[in-house]
Amino acid sequence: MVPLVATCGNRLPLVARTAYGAVMSTTAKVTIRDVARATGVAPSTVSRALSLPDRVNRATQERIQQAAKDLGYVPNSQARALTSGRTRAVAVLVSDITNPFYFDVIRGTQHQLAGAGWTQLLVDTEESADAELRALTALATKADGAVLTASRLSDVQIAKIAERTPLVVVNRRPSGVPSVLIDTPGGVEQALEHLVSLGHHDVLYVSGPDTSWSNQRRWRALVGAGRRLGVRVARVGPYAPFVDSGAAAADAAVNAGATACICFNDLIAIGMLTRLRERHVRVPEDMSIVGCDDIFGADFCNPPLTTMTSPIERAGRVAVSMLLARLDAAPHDGLHGEQLRDTVVLPTHLTVRGSTGPAPAVHTV
Amino acid sequence: MVPLVATCGNRLPLVARTAYGAVMSTTAKVTIRDVARATGVAPSTVSRALSLPDRVNRATQERIQQAAKDLGYVPNSQARALTSGRTRAVAVLVSDITNPFYFDVIRGTQHQLAGAGWTQLLVDTEESADAELRALTALATKADGAVLTASRLSDVQIAKIAERTPLVVVNRRPSGVPSVLIDTPGGVEQALEHLVSLGHHDVLYVSGPDTSWSNQRRWRALVGAGRRLGVRVARVGPYAPFVDSGAAAADAAVNAGATACICFNDLIAIGMLTRLRERHVRVPEDMSIVGCDDIFGADFCNPPLTTMTSPIERAGRVAVSMLLARLDAAPHDGLHGEQLRDTVVLPTHLTVRGSTGPAPAVHTV
DNA sequence: TTGAAAGCGCTAACAG
DNA sequence: CTGTTAGCGCTTTCAA
């Protein structure tokens, strides 16, 4: 009678009475048998009525669902997983929960998962391939699949794991594994064009970690674009992808006589901004800075950061939907070759803010 | 022989052979029976050797563990949960994954949980009491307990749920429920003293959501401190805790002729900074701004924000350790009255940065 | 100290 | 369309 959870936000107390009974209740857990007894059918019929409503007589189906509701029945996901082998949970591995970049990814995965009624297991691998492997192992029975947002494993390792575990990777491209790519190389090119249009002829790439696939990709894109546009490009680094690394990066950039930098990510770029101010190097008058990702903070730092805006949240969503499609397809058959090893590339665009400006009239390189 | 996961980071491929077999392996899953067969003992003995090593002969215990390792046995947490009723997972509910404040909380809970070998289920309730209730219900069998970091439920509701579900709340104080409080009221007082020392006599509180317990607490603290210090305090709001709300808040503050504001949180404060610049209101010359929490970004916005630094991550860690203590204690007995309803208050301190300065010589209030 | 047996709550054949 | 029968992998009495 009373819905398990009301949609009316105000009268919660009323509703709650029913809901409470079911909330992680240790006592008085209602099982499928109780519902069966109350309805006068077999437990298996209840199971069916709840999981595969089509395979049950319309009338009894409704009777059962009603009874389940009234009794405050909550399916036991453990038991369900044990028999079906499916947990309806997916693991999302990030390399550093602290990095704002992942906030958006996580938000995306969370949304998509929640929308589908799935659970998200969030794991912070803390930049360690080891921890990543360990997590993947422990997660074996806990999740039906995983999204690797910043794997520190080799392509071969990933591909190997993917053979037995539904996987989707973000910003990696191991063969045969579905992946979501954010087109930052395209963004790098736009960034360079932007700098060229401001009169820059020399650009410094502030490199991220060597272990980062994206970093290599961005650098390569920059080299290519530089050749095409007749711009000299150089690099400094590697720097760890933290705000704190920005100080060293800034010093290196100043030392190199750079007048324009494209950074591996916003974190480093923002760190540079701070350090440059300390050193009285004006941005953008003396040096232009371009970041990457457009994370939280890129728009209110000082000066606001010109950066490549990535559809990060969408990347998370797409990754999950690819995974779910695969997971849903597995039990039956259908799409096995084509759809499973697809790659989605999400576009990036340059957002110009205050940190880039005309090249200084005089500069040393 | 070969460890399941090596501690040496480089030779992963070698090790991986063993690990892979276990990684979410659909095929060839090694069960307790396989280990039993390999060791020539009964499954129940294997179970014991792995879960309650003390209750087994030392020699066989080691033999079993070795065999388990060699075979790449990974316990099935579902099955384990089904029989034992314990999942070794805890749910962490946040009201908005997007809010940097929670990043730190999540990091704290994650660390603490991972350290204890537990799994974290992250749930975004999206500011909805409904979703919160629903999540708590669905999580029933998935988690052994939950941390509510920003509950939108009433104290009574929370207390009721806590009767049947191990709960720890952050920044709330329902009676009988263990809670972790961040002493922002103390911070508010420090902030006010700071402003007074700069010559301010009138301070405006920029209010957060009415539904926020912390918000009321801060306002009350400010009123008290204002009385004590002879400062007039007023309030505007409520404003949603987003950067975007800052614009309206800034306009209201300007309209009120304020020269010093203490904001519900850094998000709003940062938003105000941006808007004030647009309106050519100088910070801190024309108006001082104080935030709360010291989130990511508070140190590099423009100007850097004077704010109350909260040990957010620690709050997450403490919450989890309180929950785990309770969870571990439950099966036995021991601490039932005292320790279970304790409250931990974490101190806050004021971090002065560029957004606060002397009161303008002339001002209208 | 160990083994045998009985389920945890549910799903999945297989009959009917 | 529905009931019966087996378990999923593990823990947990209860004997031995």
DSSP character for A360?
A: P
Q: Is B124 an 8 Å CB contact of chain A? A: yes
Residue A124 pairs in a beta bridge with A94
Nucleotide C6's nearest residue (CA vs C1') is B83
Question: What is the enclosing helix (H) or strand (E) of A43?
Answer: helix A43-51
- For chains A and B, count residue pairs whose Cβ atoms are closer than 8 Å: 217
Sequence-separated (6 or more) residues with CB below 8 Å from residue A252: A206, A236, A237
Task: Look at residue A127 in the predicted model and tell me its pLDDT.
Answer: 85
In terms of Cα–Cα distance, which of B146, B174, B144 is closest to B160? B174
Digit-coded pLDDT (tens) for A159-171:
999 988 899 999 9
**Residue bearing tokens 């711009």:** A231
CB-proximal positions of chain D, under 7 Å = 1-13
pLDDT for A7 beyond 80: no
Task: Look at residue A338 in the predicted model and tell me its pLDDT.
Answer: 43
In angstroms, the CA of A57 and the C1' of D1 are apart by 6
Cross-chain residue pair A119–B136, CB shorter than 8 Å: no
Tell me the shortest Cα–Cα distance from B131 to chain A, in angstroms: 9
DSSP character for A232?
A: E
Nucleotide nearest to A59 (CA to C1'): D1
Digit-coded pLDDT (tens) for B217-254:
999 999 999 999 999 999 998 999 999 999 999 999 99
Give the DSSP letter string of A255-306: HTT-SEEEESSHHHHHHHHHHHHHTT--TTTT-EEEEEE--TTTTTBSSPPE
Task: Look at residue B198 in the predicted model and tell me its pLDDT.
Answer: 96
Digit-coded pLDDT (tens) for B52-110:
989 999 999 999 999 999 999 999 999 999 988 889 999 999 998 888 999 899 989 99
Could you tell me the sign of the dihedral formed by the alpha carbons of A352, A353, A354, A355, in that order? negative
Q: Which residues of B touch A9 (CB under 8 A)?
A: 128-130
Q: Is B206 an 8 Å CB contact of chain A? A: no
From residue A295, give the alpha-carbon distance in Å to each of A34, A103, A169, A323, B188: 51, 9, 20, 25, 29
Burial class, B157, CB count within 10 angstroms (exposed 0-12 / middle 13-18 / buried 19+): buried
Q: Is A164 an 8 Å CB contact of chain B? A: yes
From residue A13, give the alpha-carbon distance in Å to each of A6, A171, A353, B128: 10, 46, 49, 15
Digit-coded pLDDT (tens) for A304-351:
999 999 999 999 999 999 999 988 764 434 444 444 558 999 999 999
Burial class, A307, CB count within 10 angstroms (exposed 0-12 / middle 13-18 / buried 19+): buried
Tell me the backbone φ, ψ of residue B53, rounded to 5 degrees.
Answer: -50, -25
Question: What is the enclosing helix (H) or strand (E) of A169?
Answer: strand A167-170
Cross-chain residue pair B23–A136, CB shorter than 8 Å: yes
| C-alpha span between A144 and A87 (Å, rounded) | 6
Q: Is A24 an 8 Å CB contact of chain B? A: yes
Q: Which residues of B touch A19 (CB under 8 A)?
A: 133, 137
Q: Which of residues 256-285 of A touch strand C (CB under 7 A)?
A: none
Cross-chain residue pair A107–B97, CB shorter than 8 Å: yes
Residue B120 pairs in a beta bridge with B90
Mean pLDDT of A22-38: 73
Tell me the shortest Cα–Cα distance from A42 to chain B, in angstroms: 21
Give the DSSP letter string of A63-127: HHHHHHHHHT----HHHHHHHHS--SEEEEEES-TTSHHHHHHHHHHHHHHHHTT-EEEEEE-TT
Question: What is the enclosing helix (H) or strand (E) of A224?
Answer: helix A213-229
Q: Which of the four pLDDT bands, split at 50, 70 and 90, describes residue A237?
A: confident
Sequence-separated (6 or more) residues with CB below 8 Å from residue A237: A205, A206, A207, A208, A249, A252, A264
pLDDT for B29 beyond 90: no
Facing B137 at nearest CB: one of A74, A121, A124: A74
- Quick check: helix, strand or coil at residue A354? coil
In angstroms, the CA of A76 and the C1' of C10 are apart by 8
Nucleotide D11's nearest residue (CA vs C1') is B83
Return the biggest CA–CA distance within chain B: 89
In terms of Cα–Cα distance, which of B342, B242, B152, B228 is closest to B220? B228
In angstroms, the CA of B29 and the C1' of D8 are apart by 12
- C-alpha B290: how far from chain center: 23
Q: Which of the four pLDDT bands, split at 50, 70 and 90, describes residue B28?
A: low
Residues found in chain B: 365
Digit-coded pLDDT (tens) for A238-252:
999 999 999 999 999
CB less than 7 Å from strand D: which protein residues?
Answer: A 40-45, 48, 55-61, 79, 82-83; B 29, 31-33, 43-44, 47-48, 50-52, 73, 75-76, 79-80, 82-84
Q: Which residues of B298-335 are buried (b: 16+ CB within 10 A; e: fewer)?
A: bbbbbbbbbbbbbbbbbbbbbbbbbbbbbbeebeeeee
Task: Look at residue B20 in the predicted model and tell me its pLDDT.
Answer: 35
| C-alpha span between A261 and A269 (Å, rounded) | 9
Tell me the shortest Cα–Cα distance from A356 to chain B, in angstroms: 17
| C-alpha span between A282 and A288 (Å, rounded) | 9
Phi-psi sector, A28: left (phi>0), alpha (psi -120 to 50), beta? left
Rounded to 10 degrees, what is the CA torsion of B278, B280, B283, B288?
Answer: -90
Q: Is B362 an 8 Å CB contact of chain A? A: no
Q: Which residues of A touch B123 (CB under 8 A)?
A: 114
- Quick check: helix, strand or coil at residue A210? coil
Cβ of B45 near strand C (distance < 7 A): yes
Per-residue H/E/C for chain B: CCCCCCCCCCCHHHHHHHHHHHCCCCCCCCCHHHHHHHHCCCHHHHHHHHHCHHHCCHHHHHHHHHHHHHHCCCCCHHHHHHHHCCCCEEEEEECCCCCHHHHHHHHHHHHHHHHCCCEEEEEECCCCHHHHHHHHHHHHHCCCEEEECCCCCCHHHHHHHHHHCCEEEECCCCCCCCEEEECHHHHHHHHHHHHHHCCCCEEEEECCCCCCHHHHHHHHHHHHHHHHHCCEEEEECCCCCCHHHHHHHHHHHHHCCCCEEEECCHHHHHHHHHHHHHCCCCCCCCCEEEEEECCCCCCCECCCCEEEECCHHHHHHHHHHHHHHHHHHCCCCCCCCCHHHCEEEECCEEECCCCCCCCCCCCCC
| C-alpha span between A18 and A10 (Å, rounded) | 16
| C-alpha span between B51 and A319 (Å, rounded) | 37
- Here the tokens at position A108 are 């995306």
> Which residue of A lies nearest to B156 if distances are taken between CA atoms?
A13
Facing B25 at nearest CB: one of A20, A74, A164: A164
Contact A37/A68 with Cβ under 8 angstroms? no
DSSP character for A177?
A: S
Residue A194's CB: how many other CB atoms inside 10 A?
18
Cβ of B56 near strand C (distance < 7 A): yes
Task: Look at residue B337 in the predicted model and tell me its pLDDT.
Answer: 42
pLDDT for B51 beyond 80: yes
Mean pLDDT of B191-217: 95
Facing B134 at nearest CB: one of A5, A77, A142: A5
Between positions 288 and 327 of A, the ones with CB within 8 A of B are: 296-297, 300-303
DSSP character for A53?
A: G
The count of C-alpha atoms lying within 13 angstroms of the C-alpha of A135, restricted to the half-sphere facing its C-beta, is 30
Cross-chain residue pair A5–B97, CB shorter than 8 Å: no
Nucleotide nearest to B82 (CA to C1'): C8
Residue B205 pairs in a beta bridge with B235, B262
The radius of gyration of chain B from alpha carbons, rounded to an integer in Å, stands at 26
Q: Is B121 an 8 Å CB contact of chain A? A: yes
Q: Which residues of B touch A111 (CB under 8 A)?
A: 124
Q: Is A116 an 8 Å CB contact of chain B? A: no
Cross-chain residue pair B154–A9, CB shorter than 8 Å: no
pLDDT for B152 beyond 50: yes
Tell me the shortest Cα–Cα distance from A13 to chain B, in angstroms: 7
> Which residue of B lies nearest to A24 if distances are taken between CA atoms?
B140
Cross-chain residue pair A121–B120, CB shorter than 8 Å: yes
In angstroms, the CA of A53 and the C1' of C5 are apart by 36
pLDDT for B113 beyond 70: yes
Contact B161/B135 with Cβ under 8 angstroms? no
In angstroms, the CA of A79 and the C1' of C7 are apart by 13
What angle, 0 to 180 degrees and rounded to 10, lies between the N-to-C axes of helices B100-115 and A100-115?
Answer: 80
Task: Look at residue A61 in the predicted model and tell me its pLDDT.
Answer: 93
Cross-chain residue pair A23–B133, CB shorter than 8 Å: yes
Burial class, B158, CB count within 10 angstroms (exposed 0-12 / middle 13-18 / buried 19+): buried
Q: Which residues of B touch A156 (CB under 8 A)?
A: 13
Nucleotide nearest to B48 (CA to C1'): D11
Digit-coded pLDDT (tens) for B305-363:
999 999 999 999 999 999 999 887 644 444 444 445 589 999 999 999 999 999 987 65
| C-alpha span between A353 and A308 (Å, rounded) | 11
| C-alpha span between A88 and A92 (Å, rounded) | 13
Q: Is A273 an 8 Å CB contact of chain B? A: yes
Amino acid identity, residue A345? V
Digit-coded pLDDT (tens) for A116-142:
989 999 888 888 899 999 889 888 889
Q: Which of residues 7-46 of A touch strand C (CB under 7 A)?
A: 29, 31-33, 43-44
